Structure 1
Amino acid sequence: MEPKIQEKAWNPELEKKIRENWQETNLYKFQLANENFTIDTPPPYPSGRPWHIGAAAHYAQIDMIARTARMAGKNVYFPIGIDRNGLPVELYTEKKYNIRMRETERGKFLELCREALDDLEAEMIQIMKNLGISGGIDEHYRTDSEEYRSLTQATFIELWKKGQVYLATRPNNYDWVSGTTIADAEITYEDIPTKLVYMKFKVSDSSEEIIIASTRPELLCACKTVIVNPEDERYTKLVGKKLIVPIFGNEVEIKTHHSAQKEFGSGAVMVCSYGDQNDVALFRELKLDEVIAIGLDGRMTESAGEYQGLKPKQARTKIIEDLQTKGFVEKIEEISHRTPVSERSKTPIEIIPMEEYYLKQIDSVEKMKELGSEIKFHPNMHKQILMNWLESISIDWPISRRRFYGTEIPIWYCKKCSEPHVPEPGKYFKPWKDESPIKKCTKCGNSEFVGEDRTFDTWMDSSVSPLFVTKFQKDEEFFKKTYPTGIRPQAKDIVRTWLYYTLLRCEQLTGKKPWAEAWIMGYGLDEKGMKMSKSKGNAIDPLPVVEKFGADTFRFWSASEINHGYDFRCNEQKIESTKKFLSKLWNVSRFLSSFPVIESTKILDSDKWILAELNKLIKECKKGYDEYNFFVPAIAIREFTWNLFAAHYIEMVKARAYGIGFSDEEKNAAIYTLHKVLSTILKLMAPITPFITEHLWKTLYSEESIHKQKQVEVEDHTDMSAITKEIEEFNSKVWNEKKSKDLSLKDSIAIKVPPSLVPFEKDLTSMHNLI
């Protein structure tokens, strides 16, 4: 019999034709229904070379979520966006065109940012298409579009009118490289080698000295008090006395405070404005007068005296030398210091008082905890990232940034009295260049205004993604039927930013949580277990890998390699090895394509056995798919197909399927069962490997796409696991016996079938040529 499938191997080049067919038939086009399953898909960020292989694996699995939901009978809305705001875009543009943002006319710089992004976006879109992403790629949105930015501004205006936004001058995290305030959520911590300097402070009315240890001696000019723990008996007699600050000579008072740790350094701590967040809190609590030691240019100010103009690290080196020369140093220790670092520029941040706009969040923390507890996390362990972050929030969210490429803050100030005014929402405003839409100051009646030139923190844009895709304030019926969304898939490193800020903003604007479920993925690591990133140079470009091996090979590697929620290593050799399973599936399908599909017939015990094992597979896959953990079905399908269906059942019934020594009824039972098992495997695999399953399904079973089929239901079968073990052991025994006697697998051998396997005797006899 000639097989329907002529090709001897799966050719990944077929994927392009299959993609074109999906597009021509609008297979995945979304049609609004009364009930919809919306995926709040993360818009990827094209900064520098777009995407590394770990990110591509992430999006491949997000597509598996969509395909799983469709086969579960849900009407899936799977919008795709591109995130085109913020600092990385600006840095890439500066590097690409060899320019500096603040030295370039703003309009020209924005134009260059858009041009740089367009090329990167095109490649990112191509990767998505090659991966078989079944979302709205052709109608993808951009976060820098006028439509998107106008929504960001409209939501800000709404919260402004509700009194949720205010202007304040406070010590802020300052990234002097990018020249802007950053939020706590944009800070990471690194252990950096540094010097702990033990300095001598003289008591002003005696010859006594006390030792104070600090990692930031360059801030001596900003020292306003020294604190000791109230229980530290070493300093009891000195509390209330004055100390002379080394080099600068000003006097500060010794005070007690519980935050001073007796075990750290000498137990005495200098409080400067502003060495760290503890200093910020102490300055507020003790009502100290601040000294601005570091300016917006990241250099020491005139308050630092002869160290003015030096960068903090340079000033630190110089002041340590001067302290040693003048006899103010007792000792210096080399330590590893936990240092706050800007997530974007990778440089240590400074804390500088700045006037910024704040969005209230402290008052919402308890509500966020309540909503967070209601969201089902996949896996559940990553819910703790959100809860830990909520416990750490101590200030409101600074939302203004001193950058160019971002959504502008829609505020105009009266030229006469400086009263801020926001316009009515509905369009995209550019206050730095647009004429004021406000004609008269509500406070003084003046008619002249000046526009705000700051932009929003990029998370102000990203945090309204579920509102944008569901057409909030634009299409009431669409919004009502698609929001709250079904699921938010994302990586774990942005739980405290994107996930949290979306939860905060959407609750403030709608009174509801934005999604029912959150799906959190781990990091893509290199072969050595290091986190992949473009800046480290250890990122693998996914496009040539997918073009070389095919999307299905890549996708099956992603599913079978990554236990959901955990970090995973990326290795091209492992991806290539995945081809072996797809080749096995192809060979099985090609063999079965020789036999006609039989609708139903009476089956034998061997058939009942494999169908019982198939039923176990369906249960296992359903468990994995219900949790969107694709590792579970990928491993289970591979194990069943390769090591049970192909290795044992097909070999057992091959002769029967050909009708050699069996009746037509027995022959049809084998053929029916073979196709039932294969067709089920294809449907179970379809969300993971959409191309090969589509091709095989249409070739063997139906003109209708496999992706329009409902997922397989669990059937009522008697558990035959004990028999499975016996069949495997008996077959292995026969194979080993033949090998030991230097016989081929086709040669006859005298071995008796054990009593427990008598119901399978005829199939086993023909399989092994038993005599």
Structure 2
Amino acid sequence: MDKKYDFTRAEKEVQEFWEREEVYKYQNGRDRKVFSIDTPPPTVSGSLHIGHVFSYTQAEIIARYKRMRGYDVFYPFGFDDNGLPTERLVEKEGGIKAREVSAEEFQKMCLDTVAGYEEKFMDMWKSLGFSVDWSLTYQTISEKSRRISQRSFLELVRNKKAYRKESPVLWCTECRTSIAQAELDTKDCESVFYYLSFESEAGPLIIATTRPELLYGCVCVFVNPSDERYQKYIGLSVRVPLYGFDIPVMADEGVEKEKGTGVVMCATFGDAADMEWYHKYGLSYKKVITEDGRIFTEVPYIGGLKVKEARKEIILKLREQGLVIKDEPIIHTVGIHERCKTEVEIIPSTQWYIDITSDKESFLKAADEINWYPPYMKERYRTWVENLKWDWCISRQRYFGVPIPLWYCKNCHKPILAEDSQLPVDPQRDRPLQPCSCGAHPSEVIPEKAVLDTWATSSLTPFINAGFGEEGEHREIFPMGMRSQAHEIIRTWAFYTIVKSIYHTGQLPWKDIMISGFVLAKPGEKISKSQNNATLSPTALIEKHSADAIRYWAANAKLGTDTFFEEEELKIAKRFLTKLYNGANFCIMHLADYNKDEIQVLSLPVDRWILQRVHETTRQVAKLLDNYEIGQARHVIDELFWKDFCDYYIEIVKERLYQPMKHGEMERKSGQYAIYYSLLGILKLYAIYTPHMTEYIYQQYYRTFEREGSLHQTLWKIEGEDSNILEFGQRLMAVIGEVRKGKAEKQLSMKEELEELIITTPASMAKYFAATEKDIKACTGARKLIIRS
């Protein structure tokens, strides 16, 4: 091998070799059992960062592991390129708003943009050595994905699981679309409690509110029925300050007696509580806030103003008339849209929904039937399902997405569903194939303009991968073996996929779910595209430090836990890679004249021990990886390589390899046999973590002697263990360790000779030590060896 490893050349050569030889091509389960992986399609909303590398690499390591355990691995890659994230990217880069250009022009801009980003994404994943079958790549905006997504929607409508209704809905005034509960985040903001006096015949009722701009929308006042302060007000009317109309005082146990004054004004709509009371008590609706985040023009004093401007203006009006009793600064938690961080409003709108609240028990039962790694992540899912308040709103008033495949009859207003044969369909360009049931002509329709929530399509990734309803289906991959994802999308991607799978097939979408953590820029702050806090791009890091170094770092953390990233941490990975290459180089140098067919029996127990340690480590690592503990597994391999193999075995066997005349030719061959197979076993173990260097070493030497064309086509051997030999190895390392410690304490060179070395050992171990006498003397510098039992 080359004296020094040049990763800039070697990694590219190895990647080209894998692609040329189709090492990772899925074989349709013809000869081996299938293991299928449901990989998260990255959202096309900006450049990738080290956080993506961290989580995606962990899943890729499992793909390699399963392949080396004998599975035909179905490992695709996709891109989530339809929907709001892509639209916002295009708007930002183009300096425009989607509503300012034609739908056709904006959709073309989106397609051009995602094409460029996806090419960069793919190049980056390839440069990391991902063992993906790229022929299985998909896009959520592709014709196939649109067809499967629309087919799913139509089936849910026919099965009464999807429906349309007019109702208050969470609304983003920045993106100008409805959103689902799962897209709602919260943040703490500086705000003010304004104490206002609502007059009644029983005296004034003081209400503290953070949203005085909604006074015109007040429809009721609520108190807690057990609050003795306000018993006399229940059933009376109070007068809304400034506007002068009367509203009733009602009692509800949901009112927090300790918050503000314990009296709450219910306006349509200030928050989720207002919406719940609206439904619970059949309250009237008064329009205040419009879709663009302004006050309805007919609202006196503040009509046409933006919400926060209106708040300032209404307070000025109230102060002028002496209606503000006092104000009190507070920290207030508000709901925000996770995509743009804008405060969310609630307005009435007609939208499409998927029923999820009536089937909670099915979704909770599914959680118990899926294997969660780590197990505690299941509780996050359960908590989300148990606290669901609303059905899943799946329609979006946007432009670049999967169109909702239906029209409305101009005559009877009934929805007319598209037929499967015309999917994917765009209702604004296409027309129904048949007349309406009322007899109206197919041209007499109003097209649905909304598109589906992007999660309504990405929740179908198992179906897209399997090609459900398409030619050339991969039914053998379903249910999929594993879903990998980060923990923040348990409430969206994991949950919605479980919903769709149960509704469409009655089956779980996958058997196992592996949840990764975040990469943090600093405590509590994850590295993300929106925060723009990634110092170096993955591509720059790979070019500077190597893909294998990045991968080795990514496999350091315990599954599901967050980790910090600093470039300095890659020094550990680079030190390991140098050690691995130098160790392999040393071994291969001593294998120049080795004939693997010449010797099949090991002469010395220390040679048997190192092979047993490789077997033992392989068993331990396989058990950990079967539970997706990638980081713990890597640390077990590190222990074998650094301590057992490099620090001890190589040092023990070194003189025997160099001086066969002193130790014996057969003893040297025994050592060659041991380093041949122990190094090969270690390369196999590290192959899933650092695939480039391990493959390079394999091609430089082992390919001449081994049957498989690639290291990554070899299999891990899980063999039985010899406990006696393993115990001997531990005792031998302890002896050598004590000798080294003694020399270090006396500040002696490790090469300093010892007059005599006495080893006390159980009788069962004595024969092993006796057979290892020459190696022990060579390693410790002992002139005389005495073994006592």
Decide: shared fold, TM above 0.5: yes
Matched, 1:746 2:758: no
The structure 2 residue matched to 1:462, chosen from 448, 458, 461, is 458
Matched, 1:11 2:7: yes
Query: Which residue number in structure 2 is paired with residue 367 of structure 1?
Result: 362
* Conserved? CA contact 1:232–1:262, under 8 Å: yes
Q: How does 1:582-621 map to 2 (within 5 A)?
A: 582-596=577-591, 597=594, 598=596, 599-621=599-621
Query: Which residue number in structure 1 is paired with residue 680 of structure 2?
Result: 679
Indicate how the Cα distance of structure 1 residues 649 and 194 shifts in structure 2: closer, same or farther if over 3 A, else same: same
CA shift at 1:363, angstroms? 2.4
Query: Which residue number in structure 1 is paired with residue 787 of structure 2?
Result: none
The structure 1 residue matched to 2:262, chosen from 261, 267, 291, is 267
The structure 1 residue matched to 2:114, chosen from 111, 114, 117, is 117
CA distance in 1, matches of 2:414, 2:445: 9
The structure 1 residue matched to 2:776, chosen from 739, 764, 770, is 764
CA distance in 2, matches of 1:159, 1:537: 39
Q: How does 1:212-361 map to 2 (within 5 A)?
A: 212-361=207-356
Indicate how the Cα distance of structure 1 residues 741 and 395 shifts in structure 2: closer, same or farther if over 3 A, else same: closer
The share of aligned pairs that are identical, in percent, is: 33
CA shift at 1:720, angstroms? 6.3
CA distance in 2, matches of 1:518, 1:660: 57
Show CA shifts across 1:709-744 (max 9, x none).
Answer: 111214222166765565445434433444455543
Show CA shifts across 1:250-283 (max 9, x none).
Answer: 1112111111111111111111111111111111
Q: Which runs of 5 or more residues in structure 1 are unaligned?
A: none
CA shift at 1:468, angstroms? 1.2
* Conserved? CA contact 2:428–2:448, under 8 Å: no
Matched, 1:709 2:734: no
Matched, 1:514 2:515: no
CA distance in 1, matches of 2:747, 2:355: 80
Show CA shifts across 1:454-508 (max 9, x none).
Answer: 11111111111111111111147x4432211111111111111111111111221
Q: How does 1:84-233 map to 2 (within 5 A)?
A: 84-203=81-200, 205-206=201-202, 208-233=203-228
CA shift at 1:60, angstroms? 1.7
The structure 2 residue matched to 1:25, chosen from 21, 40, 44, is 21
Matched, 1:542 2:538: yes
RMSD of aligned alpha carbons:
2.0
Q: Give, as a single letter, the amino acid of the residue that structure 1 aligns with 2:297.
A: E
* Conserved? CA contact 2:615–2:717, under 8 Å: no
CA distance in 1, matches of 2:213, 2:732: 77
Q: Give, as a single letter, the amino acid of the residue that structure 2 aligns with 1:14.
A: A
CA shift at 1:392, angstroms? 1.5
CA distance in 1, matches of 2:354, 2:139: 24
Query: Which residue number in structure 2 is paired with residue 70 of structure 1?
Result: 67
Query: Which residue number in structure 1 is paired with residue 645 of structure 2?
Result: 645
TM-score when normalising by structure 1 = 0.95
- The more displaced of 755-764 and 374-383 is 755-764
CA distance in 2, matches of 1:525, 1:72: 33
CA distance in 2, matches of 1:739, 1:446: 95
CA shift at 1:89, angstroms? 1.1
Q: How does 1:377-456 map to 2 (within 5 A)?
A: 377-447=372-442, 448-456=444-452
Show CA shifts across 1:531-568 (max 9, x none).
Answer: 111222202410111122211111111112x2111111
- The more displaced of 615-624 and 267-276 is 615-624
CA shift at 1:408, angstroms? 0.6
CA distance in 1, matches of 2:458, 2:424: 18
Query: Which residue number in structure 1 is paired with residue 55 of structure 2?
Result: 58
- The more displaced of 590-599 and 168-177 is 590-599
CA distance in 1, matches of 2:176, 2:635: 49
Query: Which residue number in structure 2 is paired with residue 532 of structure 1?
Result: 527
Aligned length: 762
Query: Which residue number in structure 1 is paired with residue 566 of structure 2?
Result: 571
The structure 2 residue matched to 1:734, chosen from 732, 735, 739, is 739
Q: Secondary structure at the match of 1:526?
A: strand
Query: Which residue number in structure 2 is paired with residue 669 of structure 1?
Result: 670
Matched, 1:755 2:753: no
CA shift at 1:748, angstroms? 2.1
CA distance in 2, matches of 1:751, 1:13: 51
Q: Give, as a single letter, the amino acid of the residue that structure 2 aligns with 1:603.
A: S
Q: Secondary structure at the match of 2:531?
A: coil
Query: Which residue number in structure 2 is paired with residue 695 of structure 1?
Result: 696
* Conserved? CA contact 1:522–1:564, under 8 Å: yes
Q: Secondary structure at the match of 2:38?
A: coil
CA shift at 1:234, angstroms? 0.9
Show CA shifts across 1:155-202 (max 9, x none).
Answer: 212222222222111000000100100000011111222112222222
CA distance in 1, matches of 2:742, 2:3: 35
* Conserved? CA contact 1:13–1:550, under 8 Å: no
* Conserved? CA contact 1:201–1:210, under 8 Å: yes
CA distance in 2, matches of 1:107, 1:516: 41
Q: Give, as a single letter, the amino acid of the residue that structure 1 aligns with 2:774.
A: K
Query: Which residue number in structure 2 is paired with residue 635 of structure 1?
Result: 635
CA distance in 2, matches of 1:740, 1:381: 47
TM-score when normalising by structure 2 = 0.93
* Conserved? CA contact 1:10–1:586, under 8 Å: no
CA distance in 2, matches of 1:742, 1:518: 54
Query: Which residue number in structure 1 is paired with residue 495 of structure 2?
Result: 500
Q: Give, as a single letter, the amino acid of the residue that structure 1 aligns with 2:114.
A: L
Q: Secondary structure at the match of 1:754?
A: strand
CA shift at 1:91, angstroms? 1.4
Q: Give, as a single letter, the amino acid of the residue that structure 2 aligns with 1:41.
A: T
CA distance in 2, matches of 1:730, 1:114: 67
CA distance in 2, matches of 1:557, 1:285: 53
* Conserved? CA contact 2:411–2:440, under 8 Å: no
CA shift at 1:430, angstroms? 4.5
Q: Give, as a single letter, the amino acid of the residue that structure 2 aligns with 1:622.
A: A
* Conserved? CA contact 2:206–2:261, under 8 Å: yes
Indicate how the Cα distance of structure 1 residues 268 and 660 shifts in structure 2: closer, same or farther if over 3 A, else same: farther
Q: Give, as a single letter, the amino acid of the residue that structure 1 aligns with 2:614.
A: L
Q: Secondary structure at the match of 1:270?
A: strand
Q: Secondary structure at the match of 2:585?
A: helix
- The more displaced of 683-692 and 9-18 is 9-18
The structure 1 residue matched to 2:43, chosen from 18, 29, 45, is 45
* Conserved? CA contact 2:460–2:500, under 8 Å: yes
* Conserved? CA contact 1:412–1:449, under 8 Å: yes
Deviating runs (4+, > 6 A) in structure 1?
A: none
* Conserved? CA contact 1:436–1:450, under 8 Å: no
CA shift at 1:10, angstroms? 5.3
CA distance in 1, matches of 2:328, 2:746: 74
Q: Secondary structure at the match of 2:405?
A: coil
